Amino acid sequence: MEHFEQDFNYFHEKDPVTKMTVKKHPVMNIKRQDLSSFVSSFPGEDPKMLSNFNDLLKRILVLDPEKRLKVEQALNHPFVSGV
């Protein structure tokens, strides 16, 4: 099973075929601390909506499942519910 580290990169692991240590990257390699600037870079969007979107992303991308937003909580989040 592959898991992300805090910077959203995969942990280093040994390739089963070559036995070499490799570091795999997810498709979107955005550092957690850069998430706000990435989200706010969408021009012409409502600032409140972007703020809610940023908050939702931060809460659902938490690595610790105990601290991560649950599905019901995500569905009730202002970005999804429109409140």
Predicted TM-score (pTM) above 0.75: no
Tens digits of per-residue pLDDT, 29-72?
556 556 777 666 677 778 888 889 889 988 998 888 899 999 99
Concatenate the DSSP letters of all residues of the chain into one string: ---B-TTSPBPEEE-TTT--EEE---SS---GGGHHHHHTT-TTS-HHHHHHHHHHHHHHT-SSTTTSPPHHHHHTSHHHH--
